Amino acid sequence: MTLGWVELGDAAATTVRQRIPGSELRYLGPGNAMPGSIWAHNVAIAAAIEGIWFGSSEDYEVALIGWTGETIRRIRWQGPDLNVTQRDVDRYRDALEGSYRRGGDPNWRARFERRWAWESENVPDVFPAYDRLMIGDDGVLWVHDYVRPGERSEWFAFAADGTWIRTLVLPPRTLLLDIGRDWALVRTLDDVDVQRVAVHALVENR
């Protein structure tokens, strides 16, 4: 993929990076099934005042690229081993089976087994390190840690010098839409997939 930007009225985009490995797509089903992903790597991007933060999610690193293409800074941090274990695969399979069981289809088991027969042949060997980047309303960079099977959703905030400054922990079925110094805008889904949007105050975990 190519990374660039364009202003209103420009005849062409300004390119800042080329030949960036794009997002992975894995064929997950028979017939007319669309390509999907099982913890596949994705390019994560977030625009800031100085330039564009981006990363491949292949390791615990993101880079800030200036609007003219120069690398301004990199942020690296420590995270868990990215190798996929059998326990990870088992957790994913159990969660997938549970979603079919709760769907109410009397033939859920046969449908699940058909899907798993395909997916089990396409399980990657490594996890992505993260899957989203976001610039907060106050200019802080937030990185969404990749949610492994059975784990909670966490966002990490980094200061301009790369120092970790705080962590946001989200409940299940909650999506972060925007964030500021002391608030978070989220979308939640209830048990019947009704969506709600709310602003919550951020509080310290004591």
Among the listed ranges 19-33, 59-73, 130-144, 151-165, which one has the minimum average pLDDT value?
19-33
- The closest of 95, 194, 165, 196 to 185, measured between CA atoms, is 196
Q: How do residues 138-153 score in pLDDT, each as one tens digit?
A: 999 999 999 998 899 9
How many C-beta atoms surround the C-beta of residue 164 within 10 A?
Answer: 13
Alpha-carbon distance of 8 to 65, in angstroms, equals 21
- In the predicted model, is pLDDT for residue 22 greater than 90? no
pTM: 0.87
- In the predicted model, is pLDDT for residue 38 greater than 80? no
Q: What percent of the chain has pLDDT over 70?
A: 93
How many C-beta atoms surround the C-beta of residue 133 within 10 A?
Answer: 22
